[in-house]
Amino acid sequence: MRLSTKSRYGLRAMFDIAYNCSSMPAQIQDISRRQHISPRYLEQIFQNLKRAGILKSKRGPKGGYCLAKTPDQITVLEILNATEQDILMVDCAGASPKKRKRKSECPFEGNCVTQSVWEEANTLLNQLFSGITLQTLCQRAHDMGIEKEFDHRVMYYI
């Protein structure tokens, strides 16, 4: 299994919003600059995240993107599910035969001992990804000493 750039960039962008823009909507240009991701590609990724209900957008001069839930309620698994068609190790090892999305039928269906290995791996990965939230990533960033960027849109006058 190899995650697409949509998933990797989507997770980085969601972390960026949670870490740097807790109270204000995040601007695409700022996320793009901090994470080195094309603004056009971010827009595409954000459409998937909005459809999944984990990201909101606000129009206007003070608009941008913000999390639809608190960082401790958004898991890595939710973000991956929103950006990937599926996150299976192999096509034949899904949660149930009805949910499997196969390019072709497996000739070993029901007679394959390795299928259970892939299903166990999928289960463990899902457990890992569902146990890590954006809040967890923010805490890790803090522990690593990653500085938060001060929002340049805020102006103070004396």
Q: Residue 66: phi, psi to the nearest 5?
A: -145, 160
Quick: pLDDT tens for 61-108.
888 999 999 999 999 999 999 999 778 888 777 654 444 454 456 787
Contact assessment for residue 85 and residue 102, using Cβ atoms and an 8 Å cutoff: no
Would residue 88 count as lying in a domain? yes
- Could you tell me the maximum CA-CA distance found in the chain, to the nearest angstrom? 75
Q: What's the structural domain count of the chain?
A: 1
For residue 154, what pLDDT is reported?
54
Would residue 153 count as lying in a domain? no
Would residue 135 count as lying in a domain? yes
For the whole model, what pTM was predicted? 0.84
Quick: pLDDT tens for 22-69.
778 999 999 999 999 999 999 999 999 999 999 999 998 888 999 999
* Residue 64: its H or E element: strand 64-67
Contact assessment for residue 121 and residue 64, using Cβ atoms and an 8 Å cutoff: no
Contact assessment for residue 87 and residue 4, using Cβ atoms and an 8 Å cutoff: no
Enclosing domain of residue 37: 5-144
Would residue 67 count as lying in a domain? yes
CATH number of the domain to which 89 belongs: 1.10.10.10
